[in-house]
């Protein structure tokens, strides 16, 4: 089976990629308006599909063999000492430090609250109530639930928490949803001990989530002031929207207020879906699929719950395409295509994938989820995403029965996003891309090629290191992993690609007959590079990868550099050959040794996320022209073994 994801306007043998503008799909608002929601939304939490806390038989049946695991986690959490987020933790942002300083303690506390929550639902004996109240009280006393590097969402823009200025970011929303579920299931138990705990919890949820959600318009992820010509919505929109909607659905008694919040969330998610490409590709990469398309699915599923299935967009083909991106981006042996800030490793979460696949009736996803599970013990997740854990409880038995299968398709082409995968069974996997240099979590990498052989990476995308203050600032492209000259793209006239929406490719095409992807990305270089054309053609046929680069300049200033990032053992001693050996497999990249000369740079890896994936060093092999020219054409071929 060949897989080609084409828009209605691109149904042809030679498929041309065109980046679409904002499309007024309005999938959700076509199903219901705010007035209709007032009658459709199920009041008084009667939509909750779980047993009451006191229904011990119901919880025993539902949790099954997960009950003991939840209780064991709760036992461990009984010994936990609640952590304080200090002033200096927040100051790490202004001081240029790691983003994890403040988040580490907030995360730790949140996860222990989840552990105690599920342990008490599992046992029903009150053993974990006191420590759960301690966690709730500690969280209520924490000035903000927003991460330090997201405090720009405060009206002042100040990166230090202000108790009078309640912003909502990803983590604040996650904690809000956790606390709302705690309130729903346990406020009556808390009231038996100290009613002030429940009253304070409700007050904090209203102050930190519900009121700012309804009244503030400066949170970019909501899209209140969204301009489709200049703005871009990413994973934040469905992620924050599902969290906020959970809080309203679990606490709000006023149906007018509930309907307003629900419709506002539908507006936001519609804008997100209007904003992204319709081919289903996740331009943020596979690891961010779990925070983008998967969160969007979880929002849609939750919306169907609270409306009694009367607002249900899960049968929309675009939603299914967004889900099936994830098995299509798998290379094998735990490796995935990792454009943008995505990591190169990650087989995926079988519970998340299966739940999505079941919701959109995708055999591809359901069987891939079972393939990822691969007979291993199926344990509940353990993180801040409490709705994801609830979904997992409902589908875990179905997943255990699913037939495992990874469908290896010869090609996948996303014409709107301009991303192409080509694969030969038990041989090469090639990924290449067009697009623009302002995509979410962008790297300047238009035209890049990632190449794998027998599910081993050879020409690589390094990915992203530890998130620091620079990462999401105007200094982002001072970080080497973001720069074009550390991706597998040429540097012309000594000048690399530049960041910005205006720096984009054109004429991206894929021909399935010849298994060739081609893209002209001259437009990704700034004017001072003097680039008239930069055409790359990437083909895979009969166990050989061919990359042909042709460029022309209006002025020649410096020789062109053709950069290739790799790892393992690299040998450039033979002119015309770059021999790369990784994990016992060897490939040879052949080039014209008369016109190009190799230069190798060792990039020592001292950043933990990169070191965990690639080891202690990465290599940049630069094939540099022996003399500058106004135009050039070079063919690079990659073959298994040490070719003569």
635 in Cβ contact with 589 (< 8 Å): no
Judge if 150 and 242 occupy the same domain. no
Output the pTM of the full model.
0.92
CA–CA gap between residue 197 and residue 264 (Å, rounded): 30
pLDDT of residue 408: 87
Residue 156: C-alpha distances to residues 97, 99, 147, 206 (Å): 21, 20, 16, 21
**Average pLDDT score over residue span 317-323:** 97
- Tens-place pLDDT, residues 245-294: 999 999 999 999 999 999 999 999 999 999 999 999 998 888 889 999 99
- Six token digits for residue 58: 């119901």
The better pLDDT of the pair 430, 440 is held by 430
**Average pLDDT score over residue span 537-551:** 97
**Average pLDDT score over residue span 603-614:** 95
| Residue 8 clears pLDDT 60, i.e. is over it | no
Judge if 75 and 109 occupy the same domain. yes
**Average pLDDT score over residue span 476-492:** 96
pLDDT of residue 19: 54
Judge if 180 and 289 occupy the same domain. no
What domain count does the chain have?
Answer: 3
* Mean pLDDT for all residues in the chain: 94
Task: Classify residue 361: in a domain, yes or no.
Answer: yes
Question: What is the gyration radius of the CA atoms in the chain, in angstroms?
Answer: 26
DSSP letter at 471 equals: G
Judge if 123 and 158 occupy the same domain. yes
Judge if 75 and 35 occupy the same domain. no
Range in 228-237, 396-405, 530-539, 579-588 the model is least confident about: 228-237
CA–CA gap between residue 147 and residue 150 (Å, rounded): 5
- Tens-place pLDDT, residues 124-164: 999 999 999 999 999 999 999 999 889 999 999 888 999 99
Q: Where are the beta strands (DSSP E) in 240-309?
A: none
| Residue 576 clears pLDDT 90, i.e. is over it | yes
pLDDT interval class at 99 (50, 70, 90): low
DSSP letter at 376 equals: -
Last residue of a domain, one of 216, 240, 258: 216
pLDDT of residue 603: 97
Sequential DSSP letters for 508-528? EEEETTTTEEEEE-GGGS-GG
pLDDT of residue 10: 32
pLDDT of residue 2: 45
Q: Is 584 left (phi over 0), alpha (psi -120 to 50) or beta?
A: left
**Domain CATH number, residue 526:** 2.70.98.70
**Average pLDDT score over residue span 397-401:** 97
Last residue of a domain, one of 387, 410, 433: 410
pLDDT interval class at 9 (50, 70, 90): very low
Which range of residues forms the domain containing residue 597?
418-640
Within 10 A of 500 (CB to CB), how many other CB atoms are there? 14
Cβ within 8 Å of residue 406, ≥6 positions away = 327, 330, 332, 367, 368, 371
Task: Classify residue 551: in a domain, yes or no.
Answer: yes
- Tens-place pLDDT, residues 154-190: 999 888 999 999 999 999 999 999 999 999 999 999 9
CA–CA gap between residue 591 and residue 562 (Å, rounded): 11
pLDDT of residue 16: 56
């Amino acid at each position: 089976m060949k897989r080609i994801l084409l828009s209605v306007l691109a149904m042809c043998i030679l498929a041309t990629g065109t980046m679409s503008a904002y499309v007024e799909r309005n999938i959700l608002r076509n199903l219901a308006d705010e007035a209709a929601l007032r009658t459709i939304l199920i009041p008084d939490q009667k939509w909750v599909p779980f047993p009451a806390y006191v229904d011990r038989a119901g919880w025993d049946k539902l949790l099954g063999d997960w009950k003991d695991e939840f209780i064991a986690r709760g036992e461990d959490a009984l010994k936990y000492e609640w952590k304080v987020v200090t002033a200096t933790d927040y100051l790490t942002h202004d001081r240029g430090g790691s983003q994890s300083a403040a988040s580490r303690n907030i995360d730790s506390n949140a996860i222990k609250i989840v552990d105690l929550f599920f342990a008490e639902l599992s046992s029903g004996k009150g053993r974990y109530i006191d420590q759960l109240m301690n966690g709730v009280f500690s969280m209520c006393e924490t000035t903000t639930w927003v991460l330090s590097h997201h405090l720009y969402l405060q009206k002042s823009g100040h990166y230090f928490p202000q108790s009078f200025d309640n912003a909502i970011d990803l983590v604040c929303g996650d904690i809000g949803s956790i606390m709302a579920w705690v309130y729903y299931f346990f406020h009556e138990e808390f009231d038996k001990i100290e009613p002030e705990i429940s009253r304070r919890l409700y007050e904090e949820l209203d102050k930190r989530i519900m009121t700012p959600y309804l009244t503030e318009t400066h949170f970019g992820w909501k899209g209140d002031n969204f301009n489709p010509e200049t703005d871009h919505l990413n994973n934040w929109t469905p992620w924050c929207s599902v969290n906020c909607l959970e809080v309203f659905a679990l606490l709000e008694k006023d149906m007018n207020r509930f309907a307003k919040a629900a419709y506002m969330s539908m507006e936001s998610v519609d804008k997100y879906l209007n904003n992204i490409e319709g081919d289903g590709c996740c331009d943020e990469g596979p690891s961010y699929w779990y925070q983008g398309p998967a969160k969007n699915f979880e929002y849609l599923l939750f919306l169907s719950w609270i409306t009694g299935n009367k607002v249900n967009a899960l049968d929309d083909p675009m939603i299914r395409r967004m889900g099936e991106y994830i098995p299509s981006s798998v290379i094998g042996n735990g490796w995935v295509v990792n454009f943008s800030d995505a990591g190169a490793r990650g087989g995926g979460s079988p519970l998340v994938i299966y739940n999505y696949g079941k919701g959109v009736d995708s055999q591809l996803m359901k069987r891939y989820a079972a393939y990822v599970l691969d007979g291993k013990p199926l344990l509940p997740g353990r993180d801040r995403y409490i709705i994801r854990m609830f979904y997992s409880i409902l589908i875990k038995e179905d997943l255990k029965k699913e037939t495992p299968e990874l469908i290896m398709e010869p090609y996948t082409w996303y014409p709107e996003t301009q991303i192409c995968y080509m694969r030969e069974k038990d041989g090469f996997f090639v990924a290449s891309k067009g697009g623009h240099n302002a995509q979410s979590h962008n790297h300047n990498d238009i035209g890049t090629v990632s190449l794998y052989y027998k599910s081993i990476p050879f020409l690589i995308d390094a990915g992203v290191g530890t998130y620091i203050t620079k990462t999401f600032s105007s200094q982002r492209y001072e970080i080497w992993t973001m720069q074009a000259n550390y991706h597998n793209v040429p540097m012309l006239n000594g000048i690399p690609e530049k960041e910005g929406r205006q720096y984009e490719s054109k004429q991206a095409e894929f021909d399935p007959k010849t298994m060739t992807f081609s893209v002209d990305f001259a437009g990704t270089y700034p004017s001072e590079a003097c680039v008239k054309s930069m055409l790359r053609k990437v083909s895979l046929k009969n166990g050989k990868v061919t990359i042909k680069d042709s460029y022309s300049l209006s002025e020649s200033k410096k020789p062109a550099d053709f950069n290739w990032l790799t790892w393992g053992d690299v040998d450039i001693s033979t002119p015309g050959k770059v021999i790369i050996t990784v994990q016992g497999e060897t490939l040879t990249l052949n080039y014209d040794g008369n016109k190009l000369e190799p230069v190798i740079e060792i990039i020592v890896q001292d950043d933990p996320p990169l070191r965990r994936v690639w080891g202690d060093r990465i290599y940049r092999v630069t094939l540099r022209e022996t003399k500058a020219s106004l135009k050039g054409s070079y063919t690079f071929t990659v073959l298994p073994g040490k070719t003569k």
